[in-house]
Amino acid sequence: MNQLRHFLEDCYRNNSAGIAIQSGTENLSYLELNQRRQALEGLIGAVALEARSPIGLLLPKSPNAIAAILACLKLDLPYVPIDFDAPFSRSKYIFEDASCNFLITTKERAAEIYQLLTINKEPLEHPDLDFAIVDLRLQSRPRAENRIGPDVCYILYTSGSTGKPKGVLITATNAICFVEWAGAHFNIDATLTLASIAPFHFDLSIFDLFVSLKAGATIALFTAKEVKNPLLLAHYLAEWKVNVIYATPSLLQLLLRYGKLDRYGFSVLRQVLFAGEVFPVSALRLLSLQWPQVSFYNLYGPTETNVVTYFSVPRPILEQRGYPYPIGQLCPYAKAQLRTGDQTYPLEVNMEGELLIAGDSVAAGYLGLPELEGKRFLQLDGAIWYATGDLVRVDKNRDIVYVGRIDRMVKRRGYRIEMAEIENCMSNYEGVTAFGAVPVEQDGQLKIIGCYESNFAIPELDLKQYFVDYLPLYMQPDRFLHLKEIPLTSSQKVDFQALKNIAIKHV
């Protein structure tokens, strides 16, 4: 059986004395992690085994949350990690959409939920550990039943362009092909410490959790609060002797700008992997100067396929380089082709099109959304291809280059304009720490608003002059908007929806 639970099982036996989790509150050996998992299994087993409905995990980022994930895997129950800090309405949308029968949460939160849902019963609590189980079947509302395939291990909710989160069904095969490749490719072994910065509802955490556990390495666990304070993050990264970091460029840039990295020693840090968005080269260059011994890797892949390409950033990074690095080569388990209109093409030098991905890492689909699933997961030549919505090009070295989102592309005066191209240009302007370009309709006309984050407002004329030197006229932003802070999503990426709403108010 090629299941994730069997895949991870050896880790407890082989490394029982080794530290599995290091955190600000407690450290757990593999033996202790295994015991905590078993303690929770008893509690879940009492209620949940009857029906294979997904279990919602509404827990703060903590050793307990990892124990809960492992318990669900062991009991063969698909789990849904839910953002503990999100508003209750969003959590509720997710656990209802996933037809969860049970939630695992903290005792305090369980009591709150019973009150909010007006359930007149006591949640089931663990006698010692801060775990409680919310029985959602006690709700009076009628519940939809979603059918979930027997091989689904977990469901990750991502925000959709429609504004409603959608559940991506991840199977054991999906997870294992990535975890095996990443462990081998980045030489992860039991002597290493890997940072866990991303929240567990975000797919970057699959690397932090499963690659570490599989190798018997140590997970350096950062809470949401610690991640928000770059000073504290930098302090712990150094103190816990972290060897490998996997994070978004937005987060790494905050660390570079506010983390006071000079105060600490990072001599054991050896790899920094980044994914989720484009890393502006000027900031990446500064980080590479700060950490000269570190290898940097650009990884790419939406939640629906996990990582499918990788690129090792060559050193040194030249000051005059303006364009971001490629997303690189396909992972061994992934196949790709390009689509323009109804036609598909193999990847060849200089070709451009929407990236389609097939292979073992492609998710089993969306939970309860057959129509959307049919549009994004395509049946072609006897295989399932996920249409990423990302426009890519193949460069002369046969590396794949990310061009932009198809849905962030607009047409003006007959020209196709990709917002990311404007952003790449802006990211090199001195003093600008983040940037987002958004198209806004005004009196039937399309206006492009360039929103920038900086300590000071830059004279509009200076910006216009700068853009005239780098972009054709039809691509010029019409207005610039100075912001103290570019809004980020809970997964630390630029929140374009929020940015657009801010821009609309200012037009």
Partner 1 sequence: MEPVEHFIRKNFLADPDGDLSNSTPLLSSGIIDSISALELVEFLEQNYQIEFKPHEVDRENLNTIDLIGEFIERKRTQ
Q: Interacting stretch for partner 1, rule CB under 8 A, among 230-238, 362-370, 387-395, 443-451?
A: 230-238
E strand or H helix that includes residue 35: helix 30-48
Say whether residue 232 binds partner 1 (CB under 8 A): yes
Q: Residue 465 or residue 501: which is nearer to partner 1 going by CB?
A: 501
Say whether residue 455 binds partner 1 (CB under 8 A): yes
Q: Is residue 8 helix, strand or coil? A: helix
Indicate which single residue of 230, 302, 404, 450 sits in contact with partner 1 (rule: CB under 8 A): 230
Q: Residue 147 or residue 484: which is nearer to partner 1 going by CB?
A: 484
In 3D space, the residue among 143, 190, 213 whose CA is nearest the CA of residue 368 turns out to be: 143
Q: Tell me how far the alpha carbon of residue 213 is from its chain's centroid.
A: 19
Say whether residue 261 binds partner 1 (CB under 8 A): no
Q: Is residue 478 helix, strand or coil? A: coil
Q: Interacting stretch for partner 1, rule CB under 8 A, among 113-121, 233-241, 351-359, 414-422?
A: 233-241
Contacts of 155 by beta carbon, 8 Å cutoff, 6+ apart: 54, 78, 79, 80, 98, 148, 167, 168, 169, 170, 367
Q: Is residue 321 helix, strand or coil? A: coil
Say whether residue 241 binds partner 1 (CB under 8 A): no
Indicate which single residue of 258, 466, 476, 479 sits in contact with partner 1 (rule: CB under 8 A): 258
Q: How far is CA 227 from CA 193, 265, 338, in A?
A: 17, 19, 37
Say whether residue 25 binds partner 1 (CB under 8 A): no
Q: Residue 72 or residue 261: which is nearer to partner 1 going by CB?
A: 261
How far, in Å, CA of 88 to CA of 357, rounded?
Answer: 35
Q: Residue 105 or residue 433: which is nearer to partner 1 going by CB?
A: 433
352 in Cβ contact with 391 (< 8 Å): yes
How far, in Å, CA of 268 to CA of 291, rounded?
Answer: 10
Residues between 471 and 490 that touch partner 1 (CB under 8 A)? 484-485
Query: Which letter does DSSP use for residue 142 in this model?
Result: -
177 in Cβ contact with 6 (< 8 Å): no
How far, in Å, CA of 143 to CA of 316, rounded?
Answer: 57
Q: Residue 234 or residue 307: which is nearer to partner 1 going by CB?
A: 234
Say whether residue 506 binds partner 1 (CB under 8 A): no
Say whether residue 82 binds partner 1 (CB under 8 A): no
Indicate which single residue of 192, 254, 273, 499 sits in contact with partner 1 (rule: CB under 8 A): 254
Indicate which single residue of 231, 383, 457, 507 sits in contact with partner 1 (rule: CB under 8 A): 231
Q: How far is the CB of 222 from partner 1 (least distance, A)?
A: 12
Q: Interacting stretch for partner 1, rule CB under 8 A, among 81-89, 184-192, 226-234, 274-282?
A: 226-234
Q: How many residues bind partner 1 (CB under 8 A)?
A: 13
Q: What is the CA radius of gyration of the chain?
A: 23
Indicate which single residue of 229, 290, 329, 344 sits in contact with partner 1 (rule: CB under 8 A): 229
Q: Residue 445 or residue 455: which is nearer to partner 1 going by CB?
A: 455
In 3D space, the residue among 37, 62, 407 whose CA is nearest the CA of residue 223 turns out to be: 62
Indicate which single residue of 52, 126, 235, 447 sits in contact with partner 1 (rule: CB under 8 A): 235
How far, in Å, CA of 382 to CA of 393, rounded?
Answer: 25
Q: Residue 208 or residue 226: which is nearer to partner 1 going by CB?
A: 226
Residues that bind partner 1 (CB under 8 A): 228-232, 234-236, 254, 258, 455, 484-485
